[in-house]
Amino acid sequence: MPRDLLADKKTLEEMPPLSKEPAAASPPPDPMPLYRMPVSLLEERFKKMKDLHPYALLLNQDDLDDCDWLEHASFEPHEAASREKLEYRLTICGELCSGLFSSAYPTETGPLGSLVKARKFPSVDSADSDRKRLLLGHVIATKTTSNIVTDSSMDFPSDWRTNYQLGPPVGHHEEGETVCLHSLCIHPDFHGKGLGAVLLRGWTQRMRDAGIGKRIALICRERFVEFYEKAGFKKLGPSACKYGGGGWFDMVMEFENNGDEDDI
Ligand SMILES: CC(C)(COP(=O)(O)OP(=O)(O)OC[C@H]1O[C@@H](n2cnc3c(N)ncnc32)[C@H](O)[C@@H]1OP(=O)(O)O)[C@@H](O)C(=O)NCCC(=O)NCCS
């Protein structure tokens, strides 16, 4: 009970000790935006990314080869999105997708030097064709009218190349208010350096600030629940999605002031 309701007690000694509200009653803390994080914490976080100098950009069809490679290097074949599904998402709603990039010359040593020699990459700009643009991670997303990720939102229309629809029965729904995060992955050579957390945090912040929807929803395996909780998502429970054999958990991040927090 607040102390001012015990005003008849004259001295501090007569009052019961202050107690905190039970943890369960308080809403989960919002993840702190990077720009508000104390410099000492940021330095610790970025130490592991030393020399990578990552930067985020929107994705589009030109990134298809790199996204396709990364998706299939990161997920089991039955979970990875097909090349055509990725092409659909990058073409129809690339503005919802983000890539985390770095750049390097083939003469460089270290992990970026090894990566740049491993495959063919596009140049950063035409004035310096030797400097290659390297995709280190991606977030691929669509929008749905449902409040959670469903099998139809995971799918895509077979005639999407010839028949554009604002609200097709499956796939991206332009007027949907839920952003579905379908794929978050970091190049396997660069795991554990904080890139996944930074990409996710930057992307969720962009979705929130741009007013693109009312919430972000995703499905994930149980082992990733904590990872997403740390980024501000709430676990809702087992998902009804049968994609990739099922066994997923629904998670959601509601944007504050969206006016209908209770309608999930
Ligand atoms: C999941 C993934 C994106 C994480 O990226 P990452 O750059 O390696 O992760 P980070 O270094 O940013 O780690 C951030 C936090 O998540 C935790 N984490 C990372 N990978 C994890 C995993 N596989 N399971 C559980 N926790 C994990 C880290 O321990 C770290 O915790 P900390 O902040 O307390 O130190 C990356 O492992 C990946 O691409 N995996 C393959 C694709 C995949 O499964 N994506 C998730 C689909 S739902």
Q: How far is CA 254 from CA 35, 51, 116, 262, in A?
A: 21, 35, 39, 10
Note the pLDDT tens digit of each residue in 226-247: 999 999 999 999 999 999 999 9
Count the alpha carbons within 13 Å of 162 in the hemisphere toward its beta carbon. 2
Beta-bridged to residue 103, according to DSSP, are 133
Average pLDDT of span 124-153: 96
Q: What is the structure's pLDDT at 20?
A: 52
> From atom 25 of ligand 1, which residue's Cα is the shortest distance away?
224
Ligand 1 atom nearest residue 184's Cα: 45
pLDDT at 10 over 60: no
Mutate to test the pocket of ligand 1, among 185, 189, 190, 249 (most ligand atoms within 8 A of CB): 185
Mutate to test the pocket of ligand 1, among 42, 69, 199, 224 (most ligand atoms within 8 A of CB): 224
Note the pLDDT tens digit of each residue in 82-103: 999 999 999 999 999 999 999 9
pLDDT at 108 over 80: yes
Q: Other CB atoms closer than 10 Å to residue 65's CB: what's the count?
A: 16
> From atom 12 of ligand 1, which residue's Cα is the shortest distance away?
194
What are the helix (H) ranges across 75-194? 83-93, 110-118, 151-154
For CA atoms 128, 134, 135, 136, the dihedral sign is negative
pLDDT at 5 over 60: no
Note the pLDDT tens digit of each residue in 44-79: 667 778 789 999 999 999 999 999 999 999 999 999
Domains and CATH numbers, the chain: 28-254 (3.40.630.30)
What does residue 221 show for φ and ψ, rounded to 5 degrees? -70, 155
Q: How far is CA 68 from CA 61, 118, 124, in A?
A: 11, 15, 19
> From atom 9 of ligand 1, which residue's Cα is the shortest distance away?
196
What is the C-alpha to C-alpha distance for residues 116 and 132, in angstroms, rounded to an integer? 7
pLDDT at 14 over 70: no
171 by Cβ neighbours in 10 Å (0-12 / 13-18 / 19+) ranks as buried
Task: Answer whether 137's CB lies under 8 Å from 194's CB.
Answer: no
Structure tokens at 259: 């006016």
Ligand 1 atom nearest residue 48's Cα: 11
The kind and range of the H/E element at 133 are strand 128-144
Q: What share of the chain is helix, strand, coil (3-state, %, to 5)?
A: 35, 20, 45
Q: Other CB atoms closer than 10 Å to residue 35's CB: what's the count?
A: 7
Counted residue by residue, the chain has a size of 264
Ligand 1 close to Cβ of residue 207 (< 6 A): no
End-to-end Cα spacing for the chain: 32
What are the helix (H) ranges across 142-194? 151-154
